[in-house]
């Protein structure tokens, strides 16, 4: 299914969820409010969700002047992928991680954390960048950013419903129900992003970088550190978790009920099988030791 079709279906499902909460919140009037709110949120998300996510995570724009080898590496890999040069951002957190965002390849960005640059060698870093470029080339980024925005909207409306429902005994039960269902709905939104897209981005990223072992090594390092180093912006904005290459949550959140990423061990095994199969196309990207 194309990225545009998936995005349309996702928006329809999210709109239905928002309208359902609105109907519980205020009957017919709440339903109309939720419909208007959903339409506005969808429109806003299409044009601005990428900027909002970058702002939530304190992203700092890099250039050739201050981005050095990282910007140069992104440019080489983008050329290999047949993509326009995305903007490059640095996230000021010690947790190693990365994500891509943007409504299309012409308006895209790759963001990496400070911690990622500290623990990966050049081959591993190239694997991560290539994985994110694969998301851009497959147009997953619009789906991910819209999902994050809509999940946050559902949670917000659920919280509104909680406070409104608490005003009277008759609505108290509905308010409590909304409090319970809103996080579940947000989790289901994250699961709506098929976990297979991570496998696909791993495979395409390995092809873009030319060395699946690099991405495999990076995933092992990132997964090991992500559960030990807290990513404060991600903990504050859990709806954005599905955008990262490895789940950034865990330092404060104990729930694993809604897994947005396939098991890291399985991803590594698939990448190593690609390398041992001898079918990997070399991209020509120069890779040297750190």
List the CATH number of the domain containing 115. Answer: 3.30.2010.10
Residue pLDDT, tens place only, 110-133: 999 999 999 999 999 999 999 999
Q: Is the four-CA dihedral 259, 262, 268, 269 of positive or negative sign?
A: positive
pLDDT band at 173 (very low <50, low <70, confident <90, very high): low
**Helix ranges restricted to H, 59-139:** 64-81, 114-119, 122-137
List of long-range contacts for 260-268, beta carbons under 8 Å, 24+ apart: 260/190, 260/191, 260/193, 260/195, 261/195, 261/198, 262/195, 262/196, 262/198, 262/199, 264/219, 264/220, 264/223, 267/198, 267/199, 267/202, 267/216, 267/219, 268/216, 268/219, 268/220
pLDDT for position 290: 36
Domain assignment of residue 195, given as a range: 3-152+191-276
**Residue numbers annotated as active site:** 132
pLDDT at residue 103 greater than cutoff 70? yes
Whether residue 213 lies inside any domain: the answer is yes
Whether residue 239 lies inside any domain: the answer is yes
C-beta neighbour count of 216 within 10 angstroms:
23
pLDDT for position 16: 76
**What is the Cα–Cα distance from 139 to 161, expressed in whole angstroms?**
34
Whether residue 284 lies inside any domain: the answer is no
**What is the Cα–Cα distance from 164 to 161, expressed in whole angstroms?**
5
Residue pLDDT, tens place only, 279-288: 454 444 443 3
| Pick from 202, 197, 213, 76: nearest CA to 140 | 197
Average the pLDDT over 17-42 and give the result. Answer: 75
Whether residue 33 lies inside any domain: the answer is yes
Whether residue 179 lies inside any domain: the answer is no
pTM: 0.78
What's the number of domains the chain is made of?
A: 1
pLDDT at residue 220 greater than cutoff 80? yes
pLDDT at residue 170 greater than cutoff 60? no
**What is the Cα–Cα distance from 148 to 110, expressed in whole angstroms?**
16
Query: What percent of the chain stands above pLDDT 90?
Result: 42
Whether residue 84 lies inside any domain: the answer is yes
Give the burial class of 118: count Cβ atoms within 10 A of its Cβ; 0-12 exposed, 13-18 middle, 19 or more buried: exposed
Whether residue 130 lies inside any domain: the answer is yes
Whether residue 48 lies inside any domain: the answer is yes
Do 243 and 145 meet the contact criterion of CB atoms below 8 Å apart?
A: yes
**Range with the poorest average pLDDT among 79-83, 166-170, 235-239, 264-268:** 166-170
């Amino acid at each position: 299914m194309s990225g545009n079709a998936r995005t349309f279906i996702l928006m329809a499902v999210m709109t239905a969820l928002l309208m359902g909460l609105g109907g519980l919140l205020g009957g017919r009037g709440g339903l109309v409010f939720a419909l208007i709110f959903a339409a506005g949120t969808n429109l806003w998300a299409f044009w601005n969700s990428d900027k909002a996510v970058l702002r939530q995570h304190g992203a700092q724009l890099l250039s050739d002047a201050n981005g050095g080898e990282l910007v140069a590496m992104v440019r080489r890999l983008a050329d290999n992928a047949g993509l326009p040069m995305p903007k490059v951002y640095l996230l000021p957190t010690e947790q190693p991680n990365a994500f891509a965002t943007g409504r299309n390849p012409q308006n895209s960005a790759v963001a990496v954390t400070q911690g990622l640059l500290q623990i990966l060698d050049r081959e591993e870093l190239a694997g991560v960048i290539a994985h994110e470029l694969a998301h851009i080339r497959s147009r997953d980024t619009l789906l991910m950013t819209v999902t994050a925005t809509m999940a946050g909207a559902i949670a917000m409306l659920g919280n509104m419903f909680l406070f409104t429902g608490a005003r009277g005994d008759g609505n108290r039960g509905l308010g409590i129900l909304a409090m319970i269902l809103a996080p579940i709905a947000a989790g289901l939104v994250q699961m709506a992003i098929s976990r297979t897209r991570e496998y696909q981005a791993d495979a395409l990223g390995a092809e873009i970088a030319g060395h699946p072992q690099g991405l495999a090594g990076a995933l092992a390092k990132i997964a090991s550190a992500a559960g030990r180093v807290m990513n404060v912006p991600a903990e504050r904005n859990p709806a954005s978790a599905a955008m990262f290459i490895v789940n950034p949550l865990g330092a404060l959140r104990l729930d694993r009920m809604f897994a947005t990423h396939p098991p890291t061990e399985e991803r590594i095994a698939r990448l190593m099988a690609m390398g041992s199969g001898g079918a990997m196309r070399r991209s020509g990207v120069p890779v040297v030791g750190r």
